[in-house]
């Protein structure tokens, strides 16, 4: 029997999400149709929108459905950049090298094709943002900045960014801020209304909904150029027939994750601390990369010296334990963790990382299975050495 400890890549479908999906699939009509069945599916879609708005503390009109986190990040960053350059040249985009590639690659595309000027805010050795540098950049270049995009919690390390502080700094120069909140939503308190954000990305499959559904939360006063043109659905920001079954499923998964947030994250924090205490005793040379940082309760990020993380992952997989070495979106891409490199780690150190992420159905037995396997897996990975790449 496999033990799954890679919830940051995707998390198993929640029973409530499956039930909601089946309910939606039981009715077949276009939500834009005016006949009875069409209006029935429209009500389903709008009920999902209301639920998501309540869970994320935003207005229902701010919820824009789309296909996934990558599309949401692209839509927010490109849309804000194009809108901000309509009446004045604002070429600077502020972000950090620890962002997900959905953000990094989008900004780099804008640099190559649209003359954007990326400016990367530093992070320290624990992965925490240099807020003083950000404040100086805003003060010195405020009228040149198109937007700021910084993730609420890092998908690899779990380190949390003070988004309210970022938005407070940006507000002085009326700079819109986007946040990829995919790793944060459902794992820490999130209020779009109180954040000050212009746009925020949340993805369903990280919460226990199916793959293929996400939302971009866009402030009511925010203008955003669209990526997809057509029928004008979703405030004309994302045209196309709306996927009400997936929207229902997403809403159910998000609602349950928010309802259970306090007690479940508290329990996952205890489980994570138990895991790290035991690993430190079994393998004293292990390094916990974000020790002392403000981080999510469900994430443990480690470096195992003298081995390749991929070798360690493979040996753990053979033992029936599924973890990851970083972002699943970069699976199969050979190279060190870009997040750890941005944190000042050497390439060798960045190649030896392992990410363990817990989820709503994780148990002590799951963690014990990892602990039972890690010593022999590490010994095997060290014998293989650093020559796997």
Q: Above 70 in pLDDT, residue 126?
A: yes
For helices 244-259 and 36-56, the axis angle rounded to 10 degrees is 30
The CATH class that applies to domain 3-11+261-384 reads: alpha beta
Average pLDDT over residues 226-255: 92
Nearest to 237 by CA among 249, 220, 225: 225
Backbone φ and ψ for 109, nearest 5 degrees, come out as -65, -40
Q: Where would I find the beta strands (DSSP E) of 97-250?
A: 117-121, 145-149, 177-180, 199-203, 214-218
pLDDT at res. 334: 60
Residue with tokens 């000050």: 196
Nearest to 140 by CA among 132, 151, 129, 152: 132
Give whole-number Cα distances, 301 to 217, 273, 354, 374, in Å. 29, 12, 6, 14
pLDDT at res. 326: 72
User: Per residue in 24-38, pLDDT tens?
Assistant: 999 999 888 899 998
- Per-residue confidence band for 341, with pLDDT thresholds at 50, 70 and 90: very high
Q: What is the CATH number of domain 15-258?
A: 3.40.640.10
Residue 384, Cβ neighbours under 10 Å: how many?
A: 16
pLDDT at res. 236: 82
347: three-class secondary structure by DSSP: helix
**Lowest-pLDDT range, 14-28, 176-190, 223-237?**
223-237
Q: Above 70 in pLDDT, residue 257?
A: yes
Residues with a known catalytic role: 329
- Per-residue confidence band for 91, with pLDDT thresholds at 50, 70 and 90: very high
pLDDT at res. 385: 74
- Per-residue confidence band for 389, with pLDDT thresholds at 50, 70 and 90: very low
Q: Tell me the C-alpha distance between 172 and 34, whole Å.
A: 45
Calculate the average pLDDT of the chain: 94
Q: Tell me the C-alpha distance between 119 and 136, whole Å.
A: 12
Average pLDDT over residues 270-277: 98
pLDDT at res. 69: 97
Average pLDDT over residues 196-214: 98
Q: Above 60 in pLDDT, residue 83?
A: yes
Burial classification of residue 215, based on how many CB atoms lie within 10 Å of its CB (0-12 exposed, 13-18 middle, 19 or more buried): buried
93: three-class secondary structure by DSSP: strand
User: Per residue in 167-179, pLDDT tens?
Assistant: 999 999 999 999 9
- Per-residue confidence band for 42, with pLDDT thresholds at 50, 70 and 90: very high
pLDDT at res. 14: 98
Query: Is 15-258 in the same CATH topology as 3-11+261-384?
Result: no
Q: Tell me the C-alpha distance between 187 and 183, whole Å.
A: 7
Domain ranges for the chain, please list them: 3-11+261-384, 15-258
CA 301 to chain centre: 16
Q: Tell me the C-alpha distance between 128 and 131, whole Å.
A: 9
pLDDT at res. 231: 87
- Per-residue confidence band for 365, with pLDDT thresholds at 50, 70 and 90: very high
Q: Tell me the C-alpha distance between 98 and 120, whole Å.
A: 9
Q: How many helices (H) and strands (E) does the chain have?
A: 13, 12
Give whole-number Cα distances, 164 to 73, 171, 198, in Å. 19, 10, 12
pLDDT at res. 173: 96
298: three-class secondary structure by DSSP: coil
Nearest to 200 by CA among 171, 168, 164, 248: 164
pLDDT at res. 327: 55
pLDDT at res. 332: 53
- Per-residue confidence band for 386, with pLDDT thresholds at 50, 70 and 90: low
With a pLDDT cut of 90, the percent of the chain lying above it is 89
């Amino acid at each position: 029997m496999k033990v799954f400890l890679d919830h940051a890549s995707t998390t198993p479908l929640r029973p409530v999400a499956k039930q909601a999906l089946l309910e939606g699939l039981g009715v077949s009509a276009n939500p834009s149709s005016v006949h009875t069945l069409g209006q029935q599916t429209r009500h389903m879609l709008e009920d999902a929108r209301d639920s998501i708005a309540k869970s994320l503390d935003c207005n229902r009109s701010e919820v824009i459905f789309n296909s996934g986190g990558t599309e949401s990040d692209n839509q927010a960053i490109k849309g804000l950049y194009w809108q901000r350059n309509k009446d004045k040249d604002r070429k600077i985009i502020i972000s950090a090298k620890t962002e997900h590639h959905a953000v990094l690659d989008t900004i780099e595309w804008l640099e190559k094709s649209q003359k954007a000027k990326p400016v990367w805010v530093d992070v320290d050795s624990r992965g925490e943002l240099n807020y003083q540098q950000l404040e100086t950049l805003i003060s010195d270049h405020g009228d040149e900045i198109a937007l700021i995009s910084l993730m609420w919690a890092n998908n690899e390390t779990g380190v949390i960014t003070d988004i309210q502080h970022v938005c407070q700094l940006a507000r002085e120069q009326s700079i819109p801020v986007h946040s990829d909140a995919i790793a944060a939503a459902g794992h820490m308190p999130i209020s779009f209304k109180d954040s000050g954000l212009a746009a925020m990305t949340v993805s369903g499959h990280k919460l226990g909904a199916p793959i293929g559904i996400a939302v971009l939360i866009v402030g009511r006063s925010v203008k955003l150029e669209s990526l997809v043109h057509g029928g004008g659905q979703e405030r004309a920001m994302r045209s196309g027939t709306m996927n009400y079954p997936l929207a229902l499923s997403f809403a159910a998964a998000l609602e349950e994750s928010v309802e259970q947030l306090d007690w479940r994250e508290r329990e996952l924090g205890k489980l994570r601390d138990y895991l790290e205490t035991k690993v430190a005793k079994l393998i004293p040379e292990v390094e916990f990369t974000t020790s002392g940082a403000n981080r999510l309760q469900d994430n443990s990020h480690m470096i195992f010296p003298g081995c390749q993380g991929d070798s360690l992952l493979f040996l753990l997989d053979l033992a029936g334990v599924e973890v990851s070495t970083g972002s699943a979106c970069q699976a199969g891409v050979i190279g060190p963790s870009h997040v750890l490199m941005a944190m000042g780690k050497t390439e060798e150190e960045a190649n030896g990382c392992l990410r363990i992420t817990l989820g709503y159905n994780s148990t002590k037995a799951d963690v014990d299975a990892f602990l039972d396997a890690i010593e022999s897996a590490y010994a095997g990975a060290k014998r293989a050495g650093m020559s796997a790449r």
